[in-house]
Structure 1
């Protein structure tokens, strides 16, 4: 059954209290296994219990919703496990949220799966819904029953910049832990996202760090924010965390350091510019790859030539053999001929004096490069060269 956005029709069909609280059984086209009794399973269409109040609230039909409420609809009725306020927040219909709250809807109502309306504000369009909920007494640090996520965890995980700002202004806890041991900063760094969302996740993390979020907090797998940011190849977040003291060489339970994580995904996240994260890790003192493993890294990361450039330029000498040329597909050599020919030629010619001077200076400042650099008085081009500026060629 559908409730059209037609007030006259709604007034005609729903005029009595019993009618406005009608429970509707809706079926979807999705199938699921159900058991009517022990040992007997069958495939049936998924069913959902709903009410006219839920339908109008989820579709933003404010006039129809008002009519139902004025006729005595139960504002907190939840036959399908959620109240109308839950579905209005999910659908981001702030006018309906405002109306439901004005009729006494409980902003702290718990759904069947343990979520409150504030946890369901998961889209940029739901910001006003979150503002209304907080203004009517919703608790900013309420946790979901199963995951123990706070609204700040949810907003950080979905890259919701303005929601994070709102929750912080209401005193959201920066170090609250969910069942995976994640803080909101961990949750933001752990969430995979397209390159188009990189700026949003950077701004979320920037806000959290600016007000004191701990950058080295480990989850239950001993994954730190830096581990996760590298796994998702968000180079801007990597730079942010490093500049605020993230430990560059600490291991997770799996034995991975941040450098391992970024190299594992570099070839698949080219639009995230993983080479920038690799360079920043090296400049902050990351342990370099064992030279004997560079050929393996080349095979895996050759699709990101600048990643290879940053790695190779962190060594004075690299033993390049014929296997290196065999490791790179011909189409990549054709796409980046200048770089790969310069790489392969390192097996025949020594590195330039300029490069050796860079390596000597980096080695002497090992662990203190970024702190000492301002005192060296070098012109900007030399500073950039010292910090492994990308030149798309090796010499």
Structure 2
């Protein structure tokens, strides 16, 4: 049987199944207890003759701030709202979504229906989305389906998108969740979701349960592509690197491109994740493959420098050049200078791949005065090259690098040179050019 989820449209019910009424004091007390997790008050109300009917009530919370006028359905039917204004929920959803495990326990003990999904998702989806593991475990132990499909075509595992949801994912798998189940719209597996959100713990867990490394989603991306392509803040770079490390150790292919033929290296360069780029290069990633848009990894990182200078893009440019990347056409260097001038080390390592430079007034004009003043020492050394050739030491470096080509990273350490010369050959940063 295919692991792809087959979505079924929720059953349509006539609008008149929702009873509209002014909330009584009893129902308001029940609602307030739910919202704050007061399980003792809930027990008192639910054990009352009237309160027992509220356990499977369906509430419309689209205007929940107006506490004295909300709609509820005592009949507890599975509903399909025809109007987008409605936001339907149940006591079970509220308790699970807010992590009120004691309230949830008492609702379940009194017969709350774990499969109710008035807004298109079950209470288990809510618990997993918000990372409430104890609630997820309770729902599963009372018969909630670990493979329930929401109206959006998502299983509970697809809702595990935060580090806090790791325990939820463990319980789901223990209760039979399908580790390779596909989402409806994006065709993602749980491993895709973990990769997209940079979740090393989830990634390790799914791999241990046999998650497929080569499954592609609707964009043609494998989990490794997905991990590299997700936009990443500086504080998240380490998490995404860890995910990629686990995927590669499990056998993920660095040469698989998405529907635009963008390889993991293309996207790691675009998102400026230096450690991930180094990792991919160690696993044999190609530095000169072009995507269908005609961009090589070098183009991707240079386009991102202006937005992610704090991500150390110079490290990526250096690594790509050391592994034999194509260089920028010399006539385009002034344009690169204009957009990358806030990262002088990127400019430094890029220009050190050339044995000669034709520096003109345009170069000077492309560096704003405030940037020039901030990095005055570097730019003075660069613009002084307009009056003379590069140093003999630099020319010797260029010649040796030309001979070694893409073997530079592996060959230079074997030359028996002093460490400072090895670093010089590998384009170590000096914050000036000569």
* Short-chain TM bin: over 0.9
Give CA-to-partner distance per residue, 1:244-297, whole Å, 9 cap, x none. 111111111111110111000111101101111011110010011111111111
Quick one: distance in 2 between partners of 1:29 and 1:52? Answer: 14
Structure 1 counterpart of 2:43, from 11, 14, 17? 11
Give CA-to-partner distance per residue, 1:335-393, whole Å, 9 cap, x none. 01110000001110221111111101001112222232232111221111101000000
Output the TM-score relative to the length of structure 2.
Answer: 0.86
Is 1:21 aligned to 2:56, yes or no? yes
Query: In the alignment, what sits opposite 1:249?
Result: 288
- Does the Cα contact within 8 Å between 1:152 and 1:167 map onto a contact in 2? yes
Quick one: distance in 2 between partners of 1:387 and 1:337? Answer: 25
Is 1:320 aligned to 2:355, yes or no? no
Output the TM-score relative to the length of structure 1.
Answer: 0.94
Query: In the alignment, what sits opposite 2:128?
Result: 89
- Secondary structure in 1 aligned to 2:183? coil
Of stretches 66-75 and 105-114 in structure 1, the one that deviates more from structure 2 is: 66-75
Is 1:62 aligned to 2:95, yes or no? no
Quick one: distance in 1 between partners of 2:274 and 2:157? Answer: 31
1:42-57 equivalence runs, <5 A: 46-57=85-96
- Secondary structure in 1 aligned to 2:87? strand
Structure 2 counterpart of 1:272, from 311, 316, 319? 311
Deviation at 1:46, TM superposition (A): 3.5
- Secondary structure in 1 aligned to 2:62? strand
Query: In the alignment, what sits opposite 1:231?
Result: 270
Structure 2: unaligned runs, 5 residues or longer: 1-30, 66-82
- Does the Cα contact within 8 Å between 1:143 and 1:149 map onto a contact in 2? yes
Structure 2 counterpart of 1:343, from 359, 382, 385? 382
Q: Which protein has the bigger strand share?
A: 1
CA RMSD of aligned residues (A): 1.5
**Runs of 4+, deviation exceeding 3 Å:** 15-18
Quick one: distance in 2 between partners of 1:386 and 1:314? Answer: 10
Quick one: distance in 2 between partners of 1:47 and 1:270? Answer: 45
Structure 2 counterpart of 1:185, from 221, 224, 241? 224
